[in-house]
Amino acid sequence: MSVMYVGEGLVIEGSDLDNVAHIDLLIGPKDGPVGVAFANALASQTAGHTNLLAVVSPNIPAKPATVTVTKVTMKKSAQVMQMFGPAQAAVARAVVDSVVEGVLPKAEAENWVIVCGVFIAPSANDNKKIYKNNYEAVKLAIKNAIQKSPSIDEIIAKKDTPHPFE
């Protein structure tokens, strides 16, 4: 039986919507549906949606192997550089730190893959905040995915909570 973990993380500093981080991710075995999504994400590039492997530094990829998927069309070179720079570095380091901290099992680092949807607002303007917010959002999304959180009871209890973009 193939397993698929699904997680979400949103980090906003105060009212700074320009540098918000919103992560959606899938975690699972290479030979399951997440592995198929991972391969498709790397093989299916389109204009404005350049998916890339998350690397801690050049030639040092995250493990479990992680593909970052843009959740918004990249129209400006600055936005592309934010994705290739602070956003994907934050994703990679959050994945590796999640292994170090035992949230992701080290024994599965070669067997699992992660597909990580990353949102960078066209108005993003602070690389340090992009890094910090995406790092925190990825760690939260991974934790939520592995812990299957929130539970359906928590969701029902909070279903009328205002959304920050309403």
Active site residues: 22
User: What are the phi and psi torsion angles at 57 (to 5°)?
Assistant: -160, 170
User: What is the H or E stretch that residue 1 is in?
Assistant: none
List all residues 6 or more positions away from 29 whose beta carbon is below 8 Å from its beta carbon. 2, 3, 35, 108, 111, 112, 113
Backbone angles phi, psi at 102, to 5 degrees: 85, 5
Using CB atoms within 10 A of its CB, is residue 28 exposed (0-12), middle (13-18) or buried (19+)? buried
Q: Which residues pair with 21 in a beta bridge?
A: 11
Strand, helix or coil for residue 46: strand
**Euclidean distance between CA atoms 116 and 53, whole angstroms:** 10
Structure tokens at 38: 């991972």
